[in-house]
Amino acid sequence: MNLREKCPIIHFDDLGDERGKLVVIEGGQSIPFDVKRVFYIYDSDDTVVRGQHANRESEFVLINVAGRSKVRITDGEEEFVAELDRPMTGVYIPKMIWKDMYDFSKDSILLVLASTHYDGTEYIRDYEEYLKEVKKK
Ligand code: TYD
């Protein structure tokens, strides 16, 4: 499986009508895990890079529910950039994938759905350490 297949862009159904749009994300249905945690990142801009880590245990779906940002995704071999700029589209990031989020528009609200409760010890924040661990697999 190549990296884009491992980290697919997911298009959610729009249940909107003349009253406005409605997007529903059901854990285990439109995304491949049950959601245990939700967080969102806003008030970032195009000068910062966030993320810069991989997670040994967590899976994520990232959605720009407002504005736009980019996510650079790598498994240590391949790399691609997901451009998130619509509330109906997200990117799935499985375990042990390195990600950097950047180029946030001023109005960006980046919603993150996670498969785990927060545990800082499952983060790998050193890229050399990540390469070592990912190559063992
Ligand atoms: P960090 O992982 O640096 O954010 P990002 O991935 O966007 O770069 O997290 C920033 C701070 O917030 C850090 O002190 C850890 C804390 N945090 C939690 O307590 N719970 C969480 O679910 C997340 C994502 C972060």
Question: What global pTM score does this model have?
Answer: 0.96
b/e map of 46-77 (b: 16 or more CB within 10 Å)?
eeeeebbebbeebbbbbbbbbbebbbbbbbbe
Model confidence at 31, pLDDT cuts 50, 70, 90, reads very high
Model confidence at 136, pLDDT cuts 50, 70, 90, reads confident
User: For the residues 104-114, what does the mean pLDDT come to?
Assistant: 98
Residue 53 bears catalytic tag: yes
Out of 38, 39, 64, 117, mutate this one to test ligand 1's pocket (max ligand atoms within 8 Å of CB): namely 39
Instruction: Determine the distance separating the centroid of ligand 1 and the alpha carbon of 116, expressed in angstroms.
Output: 13
Question: Ligand 1 atom 15: the closest Cα is on which residue?
Answer: 120
